Structure 1
Amino acid sequence: MKLVKVFLLLFFISSLGIAQQKLLEEAFIRASNEGFSGVVLVADQGKILFEKASGMRSYESNTPLQKDDIFEMASVSKQFTAMMIMLCKEKGLLDFDDPVSNYLKIPYKGISIRHLLTHTSGLPDYQAIMDEHWDKSKIAGNPEILEYLRIYAPPILFKPGERYEYSNTGYVLLGSIVEKVSGKDFVVLSKEWIFEPLGMKNTAIRSLDEKSKVRNFAAGHLKDENGNYVNANRFRASDYTLWLGNRKGPGRVSSTAQDLLKWDQALYTNKLISSKTLEEAFSPYRLKDGTRSYYGFGWDIEPKSPFGKMVKHNGDNPGYQTIIVRFIEENKTIIILNNNAHPAMMRLVEAATLSFGRK
């Protein structure tokens, strides 16, 4: 009798899991029918539960998307920049509370590396400055961005540590600090310190020319005036990816869903840094007024999700939307890479979360 009860219980649990996964399957089919183009990967304890691709690698050549295609990560890249800073810290090259002015010449005082990591620096938007003043027939990188910050010195938005305001400028400075303290190129060092040790063979910080030579690079797409998807590079909104094509820190990592899962799982180990240092990345920042800002080092933080503490980050480039969600107390992961700016992405995140069931 006990054996029968155990069998029935196992059958119930199995059926429940199938039903929950069906929710995600149905949500994915619905999104695909609505035109979603991208890859969805869901894992539990590092084991892939769901991995599917839908849509087109290139609409113009009518090339179907594959699960191992490479996408632009956009601001999901920031977690790798933050990791580079943490690696520098563990190598004794810097401390998080060091003044940025110790390493870079900038026209702003009282900003620490921690302020840059947590988006609490108050720095103005570098892209607005470059858009107004830069000669767009040339390609700018971090040295040029820093030079224009010094030349035009737009006012700081608020005193460092007073509040949170998302800052791409801060992550440009972080990339430059890594180069300053290491004496090496940020692109080369990211490969040497992160991508190669973790076996992320399809991940790199690629130039536009390098991307064009990657066979399975999923182009970003937007709709033209006729409602047809075309390469996002045709639109004015994408121009900055050309004339700011050498920037390092706030974006430009390109990767696959499988490589992001390798990255995710490595963060449960000491392969890169100690758990003590990593915990700082997943901790809120206390502002000057005593309140907390729930952005750590390259991660948005949600202390109480359906599965305990959650950290996540999304990215948004012309034609691309990306997200990685990590329920770090339960080792559950959601990765969605989209290359036609489709509105179904967050709906898929919700369906993927429901597919895990409840605690």
Structure 2
Amino acid sequence: MIKKIMFAPLIIIAVIFTVVAGFRIYWHIQSSTDLLNSLDYNFKKTRGEKESILLIENSDSTKSHIVTNKMDENQSIMLASVTKLYTHSVIYSMADEGLIDLQKPILFYLEKSQWQEINTIAGTDYSDKITVQMLIDQNSGIADYETDFKNDESIIDKVKKEDFSLSEAEAIELTKKLEGRFKPGENKAHYSNLNSILLGIIAEKVSGESLLNLYEKYIFQPLGLTNTMVVSQDNCIAPYLKDKKASRALYASSAVAAGGLVSNVRELMIFLKAFYQGSLFKKSHISDVDFNSIQFFPLKYGSGMMSVEIPFVLSPLIDSPQILGHSGLSGSFAFYCPSKDLYVVGSLNEYEAKPYSLIYKYINAIK
């Protein structure tokens, strides 16, 4: 009896190992065509009536695959926080031109009312220590005005109920009511839309132009993007909130720098490749990055990008190498996998939908 009990864990381990090995061998021996057909079938089946789309390509587009559900590739999707890549691209471009110093404290660029007391810890204001780079890295220590209120209904909870505008000034004032998460520049990260909002304000103040004009100047015109624009009530597919469509265009457009753009997958792919291939700014801005964990596991953040890499113990059935880019609250995603030279963009068009498992399956299907 004792021997049986002792051998039981070994038997379980052996069974798990056999299942994992068998699954990985199956993925290895199957052709890309068969794997993609199977993934496409499941994609459409699981998405149901929710408009969804995914496009995957390598650098030179010699490998390309698209799957759609209830929509076509020309329809616009709400980028939500994927917009941050566009905002960071503008900041990097302006830095390359000597217009912005990434290492300078933000007090050199903002009005005192815009930066003072946005990171106060135990009565001490550390806001004057925040640099432009810290805003990009999400390690300014600024609290998240959308989710960090504990005793009151959060902004995100309100957004789930209705659409409304929240001005940049209001976002700043909400943040001032919150305790800072840590001193600016520590080896930590805390994700907050205010970081990107402040970057947008800085870009406008330095240039004397609107953020939209800066997107046009540094991104849209150079890349020939004609269907990428600020979100409105009728220029993109409204994502689903549970089982109902819920446009939140007012909320998104009131903080454009953090999440206010729409695009289609073809133009999003053009932008993503340009972002990582050095067509828009010096690649040194996003090289040798020290990523820090943010509050949304398994995401890390650094140099204006999300990083996702799932260890074998948490993803035994399928390889989950590092992917870099951004995802958004609307189910949008735009990621680059350096080890496999693959770019994946699209949207599940559903609030808080997690695209990472899907992305990894398609990455592994391309051989």
The TM-score, its normalising length taken from structure 1, stands at 0.74
Alignment partner, residue 204 of structure 2:
179
Matches within 5 A, 1:74-93: 74-93=80-99
Distance 2:327 2:163 in 1: 30
* Alignment check: 8 A CA contact 1:204 1:253 kept: yes
Distance 1:115 1:19 in 2: 45
Structure 1 residues 107-133: Cα deviation after superposition (integer angstroms, max 9, x where no partner): 22211111111111111223468959x
* Alignment check: 8 A CA contact 2:141 2:184 kept: yes
Alignment partner, residue 141 of structure 1:
167
Alignment partner, residue 8 of structure 1:
none
Query: Which residue type is aligned with residue 174 of structure 1?
Result: L
Structure 1 residues 232-254: Cα deviation after superposition (integer angstroms, max 9, x where no partner): 14xxxx5xx53564223211111
Q: Secondary structure at the match of 1:295?
A: strand
* Alignment check: 8 A CA contact 2:253 2:259 kept: no
Percent identical: 23
Alignment partner, residue 184 of structure 2:
160
2:259 aligned to which of 243, 251, 257: 251
Alignment partner, residue 41 of structure 1:
55
* Alignment check: 8 A CA contact 2:291 2:307 kept: no
Structure 1 residues 274-323: Cα deviation after superposition (integer angstroms, max 9, x where no partner): 233343xx612589xxxxx952222123589969763132111xxx2011
Matches within 5 A, 1:328-339: 328-339=338-349
* Alignment check: 8 A CA contact 1:73 1:251 kept: yes
The TM-score, its normalising length taken from structure 2, stands at 0.72
Name which structure has the greater RCO, CA cutoff 8 Å, separation 6+.
1
* Alignment check: 8 A CA contact 2:139 2:190 kept: yes
2:328 aligned to which of 315, 326, 330: 315
* Alignment check: 8 A CA contact 1:199 1:262 kept: no
Change (3 A) 1:272 1:244: closer
Change (3 A) 1:182 1:258: same
Instruction: Give 1:267 deviation, angstroms.
Output: 3.1
The answer to whether residue 366 in structure 2 is matched with residue 356 in structure 1 is yes
Distance 2:143 2:276 in 1: 35
Q: Secondary structure at the match of 1:39?
A: strand
Change (3 A) 1:137 1:200: closer
Distance 1:24 1:168 in 2: 36
Question: Tell me, which stretches of 5 or more residues in structure 2 are unaligned?
Answer: 1-27, 117-126, 294-298, 312-318
Query: Which residue type is aligned with residue 154 of structure 1?
Result: L
Change (3 A) 1:221 1:174: same
Distance 2:66 2:96 in 1: 35
Deviates more, 1:24-33 or 1:112-121: 24-33
Instruction: Give 1:222 deviation, angstroms.
Output: 2.6
Question: Tell me, which stretches of 5 or more residues in structure 1 are unaligned?
Answer: 1-15, 56-64, 224-228, 288-292
Distance 2:68 2:322 in 1: 28
Structure 1 residues 193-243: Cα deviation after superposition (integer angstroms, max 9, x where no partner): 11121112111123x3xx42x3xx2221234xxxxx43214xxxx5xx535
